[in-house]
Each structure stands twice: as structure tokens, then as C-alpha cells.
């Protein structure tokens, strides 16, 4: 399209008409006869327009991010009323021990109850890909209104009311995997293992958690490396080697910057603690608290995009990246003082037939559950959980009134070691 005043195709531009202004007016006009000078502020208006466009773009990005970022779905079918895997009566192997009483059924179990929409409950498990034993098990809650986080470690030797000769919580993922037939895919086996662990956690809590994440060692290494490593004051010398697992830990005590491989060593090391697994749990909690504090002091999670990509590819979870982005933003609203780590209250030095166990203190544990983990308006009681505990003086106690498989189902490690 032609523009007026252009000289194209041999046609000359039309002559400008003679000005009809008075001589004195013409005298004040620009000598060049060109455009009048621009008014002051024209450049400023262009800068303002550019800044406004950038601001609009930023607002658009925030809106798009807010739409993409999505809270996880709550998993709230209600409090449960469990039954043990077996109707076998609770046994009494120790002299003078009394069998567990049959508890009164909770009339509210399974009934619809209100819950806190601002609270999210979660399970995180860490396992090796050799035996699929879960050496790190944590349940917790995040309150998006108060921005408090509570995390409880569950020792791997925790006594569970399950069948079989070894009744430990770190058996559950492997048992779930082994329940699959030979045609099952790796993803199906992993889902079966996590489902079995989730059932065990429900037995201890009295309700289902909202979200879960299962992290193997390779994923943990990649996640730590993705954020550029972490600073940590290693509490003790950590030197250990296990060729069967391809595990080499070689760290001296003291402040240092850890790679992903070194961080795995810190999380797995336990031979140098007097309290073994409990000492390792204490270090795990301190290490995770150190990472959280570093992120909160920065006000961001370095390389979050790369972190989320690795999380999505390598971590077995019911969350997607939009959920992870939501939780990351909620986490960054917390302060270090509002993040709390603890270990399930228990007798950490129990033993049954020569094998070490951790026996939960039911009264103290349910108090912690109701104070910091239970999202429902109704309290969790013994009628909602399936917990088996034991002491040398009073024997076994089961909240369901029975021991899965019976007391004789425990493998006698005293005999095996004798």
C-alpha cells in the first residue's frame, strides 16, 4: 500500500502549499521547515510504556504460574477401623504376660468427618535398589495457613502387626513387590511395594496420608547435585565400605560442602553411632534441617526447574510438578523455627526372640498424631490404629486384640544364632 508523500514509480511528491501564516509567525517557526521539536517527556513516555509492558508480562507470568501451580488432592476417606491380618489370638510368651484386650469398636470409624483443608499429610521413604529395604521412613504434615511443618521419623526396626517371621516396617516395600506375579512391570512392582507401605503407615496413623514420595539412592544423588550440593557439618568421622551394595562412605567430621554421593553417605551411615539406627535418624533429621535452613535463608530453591524435572523422572510419587511447585512455594513461606523433626516415641532397645525391634509407645504416639498430624476434627484413638507393641515385663499388646500370624510366627533368632 502506498503512503502519502512517497516518491515511487516516477511520480513526484505533491508540493507543500505556501504557508498562510503572518511573517512574524513564520519567523518563529523552525528554520529547517521540518517537524516541530518534540515535547519534553516523549522519551519518558516510551520508557514508561516499555516498563508497563514488562510489568504486564510479569503479571501474566505470575498468573500463568499460579494457574499451573496446583495443590495436591487431599486423600480423606475418613478415620479407619482396622482389623489385624489374622484372627489368631495374641500370645503371651513371657511368664506373667497378659493377652491384649479386644478394643471397643469406634462408632465414628469410617463416618464422614470434617478435616482441615490447609493441612497436607505426607510420607517419604528412602530405599536401596538391592534389597528394597526402606532405611528412611518419615511421615509429616504441612499447614499452609500457619506454615508449620512436623516430620516424624519411623525407625526401620519398628514392630508391625503383620504376618511373617520378621515383623519390621522396613520389610513392607519388599513384601509388596514380591506379591506381584512374574509378568508385572517394574512400575507395577514399585506401586505394589508403596501401596503395602502406605497400608502400614495407615495402621500407625489411623488415616491415609495425602501424598507420598519414594526416593532411591540414585534419585537422591541427582536431586542433591541438581541444587549444587549442600553445606553440612558432619558430626562424626564416617568411614564404611560394603562392596555388596557398592557403598563407600569416606567422610571426616567437620563443616564441608557435600556432593550428592557424599550426602547419601551421611544419610546411610550408622555403624559409628552408639545408638546405631537412632543415631543415624538424628543425623538425618539434622542434615535435612540444615538443607531447609539454607534454602530459607536464600529465599529460593536453587535450580528448582532442574530439581523438579529430576523429581518427576526418578521419584515414585502421586504428585506432579505442579503439585511440587505448590509445596515448594508453601515451604519457602516457612521459617526455620516452624520446622520440627522428631522420632516416633518408642522403646528403641526392644528385642523379640533374639531380634532387635522398636516398640511404639502407643499413648505417647497417639498424642503426637493428634497434636501435629491428624487432619480430621475427630481424634485418633486406639480403635483407629493397628499397632502391636511389646515389653519384657508385660509381653505383647495389640490395639486390635490379635497378633497377625500368632505369637509363634516370630522367627526365633536366638536359636538361629545359637
> In whole numbers, what is the pLDDT of the chain averaged over residues?
82
Torsion sign across C-alpha atoms 203, 205, 206, 209: negative
CA atoms within 13 A of residue 364's CA, in its CB half-sphere: 11
- Between the ranges 63-72, 272-281, 339-348, where is the mean pLDDT highest? 339-348
SS3 400: coil
Neighbouring-strand partners of residue 239 = 250
Q: Structural domains in the chain?
A: 119-417 (3.40.630.190)
CA distances from 132 to 2, 76, 128, 170, 204 (A): 76, 28, 5, 9, 21
76-129 confidence digits (pLDDT tens):
999 998 864 433 344 444 433 444 455 555 555 555 679 999 999 999 999 876
Q: Extract long-range pairs of 136-141: CB within 8 Å, 24+ residues apart.
A: 136/267, 136/284, 137/169, 137/170, 137/197, 139/201, 139/204, 139/205, 139/209, 139/373, 140/373, 141/372, 141/373, 141/375
209-238 confidence digits (pLDDT tens):
999 999 988 888 998 998 889 999 999 999
The residue to which cell 522519551 is assigned: 43
313-324 confidence digits (pLDDT tens):
889 999 998 999
The verdict on pTM exceeding 0.85 is no
In this prediction, residue 259 carries a pLDDT of 96
User: Is residue 345 within 8 Å of 152, Cβ to Cβ?
Assistant: no
Position 342 pLDDT exceeds 80: yes
14-18, 327-331, 336-340: which has the minimum mean pLDDT? Answer: 14-18
Closest among 253, 216, 206 to 233, alpha carbons compared: 253
Torsion sign across C-alpha atoms 27, 29, 31, 37: positive
Closest among 239, 286, 293 to 262, alpha carbons compared: 239
Position 60 pLDDT exceeds 70: no
Position 21 pLDDT exceeds 70: no
In this prediction, residue 35 carries a pLDDT of 53
The residue to which cell 502549499 is assigned: 17
User: Is residue 356 within 8 Å of 363, Cβ to Cβ?
Assistant: no
Q: Which residues of 355-394 are buried (b: 16+ CB within 10 A; e: fewer)?
A: bebbbbbbeebbebbeebbbbbebebbbbbbbbbbbeeee
Confidence band (pLDDT; 50, 70, 90) for 43? low
22-26, 117-121, 157-161, 269-273: which has the minimum mean pLDDT? Answer: 22-26
Percent of the chain scored above 90 by pLDDT? Answer: 56
C-alpha–C-alpha distance, residues 120 and 144, integer Å: 8
For the chain, the residue count is: 418
Closest among 223, 277, 287, 233 to 256, alpha carbons compared: 233
Position 71 pLDDT exceeds 50: yes
Position 62 pLDDT exceeds 50: no
Position 17 pLDDT exceeds 90: no
- On the 0-12 / 13-18 / 19+ scale of CB atoms within 10 A, 174 is middle
35-39, 147-151, 277-281, 287-291: which has the minimum mean pLDDT? Answer: 35-39
In this prediction, residue 233 carries a pLDDT of 96
User: Is residue 176 within 8 Å of 196, Cβ to Cβ?
Assistant: yes
Amino acid at each position: 500500500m502506498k503512503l502519502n508523500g512517497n516518491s515511487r514509480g516516477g511520480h513526484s511528491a505533491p508540493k507543500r502549499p505556501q504557508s498562510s501564516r503572518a511573517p512574524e509567525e513564520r519567523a518563529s517557526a523552525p528554520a529547517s521547515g521540518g517537524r516541530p521539536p518534540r515535547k519534553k517527556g516523549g522519551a519518558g513516555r516510551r520508557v514508561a510504556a516499555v516498563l508497563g509492558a514488562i510489568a504486564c508480562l510479569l503479571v501474566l507470568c505470575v498468573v500463568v504460574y499460579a494457574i499451573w501451580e496446583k495443590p495436591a488432592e487431599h486423600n480423606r476417606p475418613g478415620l479407619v477401623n482396622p482389623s489385624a491380618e489374622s484372627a489368631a489370638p495374641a500370645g503371651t510368651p513371657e511368664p506373667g504376660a497378659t493377652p491384649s484386650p479386644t478394643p471397643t469398636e469406634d462408632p465414628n470409624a469410617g463416618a464422614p468427618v470434617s478435616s482441615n483443608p490447609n493441612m497436607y499429610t505426607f510420607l517419604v521413604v528412602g530405599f536401596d535398589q538391592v534389597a528394597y529395604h526402606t532405611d528412611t521412613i518419615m511421615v509429616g504434615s504441612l499447614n499452609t495457613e500457619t506454615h508449620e511443618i512436623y516430620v516424624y521419623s519411623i525407625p526401620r526396626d519398628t514392630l508391625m502387626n503383620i504376618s511373617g517371621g520378621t515383623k519390621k516396617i522396613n520389610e513392607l516395600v519388599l513384601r509388596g513387590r514380591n506379591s506381584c506375579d512374574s509378568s508385572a512391570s517394574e512400575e507395577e512392582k514399585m506401586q505394589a511395594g508403596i501401596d503395602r507401605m502406605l497400608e502400614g503407615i495407615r495402621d500407625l496413623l489411623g488415616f491415609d496420608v495425602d501424598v507420598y514420595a519414594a526416593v532411591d539412592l540414585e534419585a537422591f544423588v541427582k536431586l542433591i547435585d541438581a541444587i549444587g550440593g549442600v553445606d553440612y557439618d558432619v558430626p562424626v568421622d564416617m568411614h564404611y565400605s560394603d562392596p555388596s551394595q557398592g557403598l563407600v562412605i569416606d567422610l571426616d567430621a567437620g563443616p564441608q560442602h557435600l556432593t550428592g554421593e557424599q550426602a547419601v553417605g551421611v544419610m546411610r551411615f550408622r555403624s559409628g553411632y552408639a545408638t546405631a539406627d537412632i543415631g543415624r535418624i538424628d543425623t538425618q533429621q539434622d542434615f535435612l534441617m540444615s538443607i531447609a535452613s539454607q534454602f530459607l535463608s536464600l529465599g529460593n530453591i536453587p535450580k528448582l526447574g532442574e530439581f523438579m524435572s529430576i523429581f518427576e523422572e526418578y521419584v515414585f510419587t502421586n504428585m506432579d510438578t505442579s503439585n511440587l511447585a505448590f509445596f515448594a512455594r508453601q515451604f519457602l513461606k516457612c521459617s526455620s523455627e516452624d520446622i520440627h523433626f522428631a522420632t516416633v516415641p518408642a522403646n528403641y532397645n526392644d528385642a523379640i526372640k533374639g531380634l532387635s525391634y522398636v516398640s511404639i509407645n502407643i499413648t505417647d504416639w497417639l498424642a503426637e498424631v493428634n497434636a501435629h498430624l491428624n487432619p480430621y476434627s475427630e481424634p485418633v484413638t486406639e480403635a483407629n490404629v493397628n499397632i502391636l507393641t511389646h515389653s519384657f515385663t508385660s509381653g505383647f499388646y495389640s490395639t486390635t486384640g490379635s497378633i497377625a500370624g500368632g505369637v509363634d510366627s516370630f522367627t526365633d533368632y536366638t536359636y538361629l544364632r545359637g
